[in-house]
Amino acid sequence: MSELPILHSHKPHAQEELALIALRATPYHEGYQLYTLLAVGGDNERPLTSEGSILFFTNPKTAAQALNLDPSMSSLGSAPTHLESVCDIAEALYLVNSQDVDPHGTLLDCLLILDDLVRATRLHMPERYQALLTELAARLAEGKQLKQIFSNSALRHHVEDALLWCVGAVTVKAKIIG
């Protein structure tokens, strides 16, 4: 007989809130290029979406306007004005390609945000990429340095391919508003 989980009805649900996230994709661009809002603190961290597309905006001052396009997220409160986290894709790719240390945790931050964005696309990530990025995130979370993780250049190239797949998936499911 299989065991059923014991459900605790008195267990409080985590309070969801909105977080302003910045993204940078182009290596020679000063500052951030895109922004979105993420619902964080609950069981389903997710970005703003509208009609199946992830909503990005180019100016953080338009966060409230973007928030109005996603009724399920607008119920979480007003758009935050302070930047919570950054997904620096350009820097993450540079680190993966040629560096042995990531002193600021840029790659892990990028992996965590890309995870939320890719899940929102509802596209199926190839299993080899998912396994590779999950393992990389786990090792980075343990405090391992890139030099310890990347034992050969082929592994670096595979991680780069997986990151680029994520960027492509998010791009084809994105809608950018002013």
Domain ranges, ordered by start, for the chain: 17-177
pLDDT of residue 14: 66
Give pLDDT tens digits for 9-48: 344 456 899 999 999 999 888 889 999 999 999 888 999 9
DSSP three-state, residue 94: helix
Interior CA angle at 113 toward 111 and 117, to 5°? 110
Which is higher by pLDDT, 43 or 174? 174
Distance CA 64, CA 139 (A): 36
Q: What is the pLDDT of residues 85-120, one digit of tens each?
A: 999 999 999 999 999 999 999 999 999 999 999 999
| Residue 166 · residue 117 · CB < 8 Å | yes
